Amino acid sequence: LKNKIMIKKISILLLLVVALTSFNSCKCMKNKQEDQSINIEKNAWKLVKVEERVYKPILDQPKEIFLNFKNGFYNTTNGCNAIGGDYKISNDNIEFSSGKTTLRMCSEEIMKNTYDVPFHKVKKINIKNNHLYLLSEDGKTIFAEFIKK
């Protein structure tokens, strides 16, 4: 009788250990997946296009434009001036603060050919197939597309 009680206690204890271990590993996997889906700071993002305009540098514009995220701060260029500011992200929602910009005097031709991402309109992000999309609140309008460097 004592052996049966002891076996039941051990069985319950083992079942409890297995259940807790499974719960913890499931929770860890979920956190890893969430972290990967919203972690935009691990990479530099090369501009592909702004709205429908594919990036094609002219004159002394940079060969490539990158968008970088670090510790809640973003920075990029529009092909003439540097742009940066704070951002907050939660799941697929993102909010860019009114950023700072340099006031470099570029040639008139370059000024007519800048690639201004409307960060103030961007409300969502989507990362798919190594591409980062900056989207409208309903997710239907793509304001800018970047590819992972």
What confidence tens digit (pLDDT) does each residue in 3-59 have? 667 666 666 666 666 666 655 554 444 443 344 335 899 889 999 999 999 999 888
Would the pTM count as exceeding 0.85?
no
What confidence tens digit (pLDDT) does each residue in 87-118 have? 999 999 999 997 789 998 889 998 889 999 99
Q: Which of 95, 103, 52, 96 is nearest to 78 (CA)?
A: 103
